Structure 1
C-alpha cells in the first residue's frame, strides 16, 4: 500500500477542508459531536504557512488529514510544558477506514515528535466518542484526564514516544 504524508499547500487546501467537512458530517449523522469551526482560508492559510497541516495520500488520492501543534495550552493548560507534539483535526475518509491509513498517519506524527526531541504525542477528542477513544487506545494512546473547552467535554490522551 502506497501511503504518503505531505504538507498541505495552497493548491491542496480544498482537499484538506473537504475531508474534514466529510468527517464532521459523518460524525453528526451518527449522532456524535464534530468540529464546530469551519475550515476556511482564514483558518487554513496561517497554518499552511507554519507547516502545521498535512494530507495523507493513498496512491495519488488524499484520504486523511491531520494538524500538528508544538504547544497546546488551551486544551492542556499547566500540563503543557514543551515536551509534546499535539495531534489535531485527524480524519480518515470513511471508505478508507481499516486500511492502515490512520495508523500510518499516527506513526508519522510520532516520528515528527521523535525528530524534534519530544517525549510524547498528545491529542484530545470528544469525551462522548467512545469508539474514537478506543481507536486511539489501540494505537498506543492512554487517557490521562479530561478538560472542557468552549463548553465541550474532551478526553485527553497521550502516547509516550
Structure 2
C-alpha cells in the first residue's frame, strides 16, 4: 500500500483543509507573499472552494491514519483567463494545490501534479493547466521547473491571478512515487497486487 492515498474530500474534511490553508497563508506571509490573505478575494475564494468540495472536485492526500497532508482541486476552466481558442475542455486544471509543512521531504507537490496528469490521461485530456498570482514569481518558477510552460499572463481588473501555464499530461516528475486514488488502491489490494505505475515521461524542464 502506498504511503499516501488520494481520496475525494467531503464537507467533513473542511476543518483539516482550512488548517492546511491557514498554515499556507502564514508561510506565504512570512516569505513576503500576501497571497490568499487579501480581503477582496479571500471570502469569494473560500465560498468557491466549498462548492468544489460539495461537487466532488477537491481531492486530498491522506496517510493510512487519514491525516490530511495535501489537497488539490480539479477545477473547471476559469474563463476570466482561458478562451475558447485555448480549447478549455482539453485540459485538467490545477486549483488550490496545498501541501502541509509536515509533508516536507515527501515531494508531495510534485506527486500531486503527477496524479493530476494521470487523471487527465484517464479522461483523454492532453494538458494539465493552472493559473497563479501574477506577482508570485517564486511559485511561477516552481511550476516552470516542473515542466510547465508559460502560456501568457491575463490581467483582468477584478483578479490578482492570471499567470497561465500548462504542461503535457504525459509529464511525470516522480515516477517512483506515484499517488493512487483510494478506490484504485483498494481494488489492487483486493487482487493481491500493487497499484500499477505508469511509465515515466519526463520533460526536459522537469527535475530528474
TM-score over 0.5 for the pair = yes
Write out per-residue CA displacement over residues 58-94 of structure 1, whole angstroms, 9 at most, x where no aligned residue.
Answer: 4432111111124321221332431111101111122
**Alignment counterpart, residue 155 of structure 1, candidates 145, 163, 168:** 163
Q: What TM-score, normalized to structure 1?
A: 0.86
Which segment is superposed worse, 139-148 or 75-84?
75-84
Partner Cα separation in structure 2 for residue 122 and residue 98 of structure 1: 25
Q: Determine if the alignment matches structure 1 residue 12 to structure 2 residue 13.
A: yes
Aligned to 2:32: 31
Aligned-residue Cα RMSD (Å) equals 2.1
User: What does 1:90-109 correspond to in 2, within 5 Å?
Assistant: 90-109=97-116
Q: Determine if the alignment matches structure 1 residue 53 to structure 2 residue 58.
A: yes
Unaligned ranges ≥5, structure 2: 170-208
Q: Determine if the alignment matches structure 1 residue 65 to structure 2 residue 71.
A: yes
Instruction: Give the structure with the larger strand fraction.
Output: 1
Structure of larger gyration radius: 2
**Alignment counterpart, residue 147 of structure 2, candidates 140, 144, 147:** 140
> How many residues are paired up?
160
Aligned to 1:84: 91
User: What does 1:103-118 correspond to in 2, within 5 Å?
Assistant: 103-118=110-125
Pair 115,56 (structure 1): closer, same or farther in 2 beyond 3 Å: same
Write out per-residue CA displacement over residues 88-117 of structure 1, whole angstroms, 9 at most, x where no aligned residue.
Answer: 111112242342111111111111111111
Which segment is superposed worse, 133-142 or 72-81?
72-81
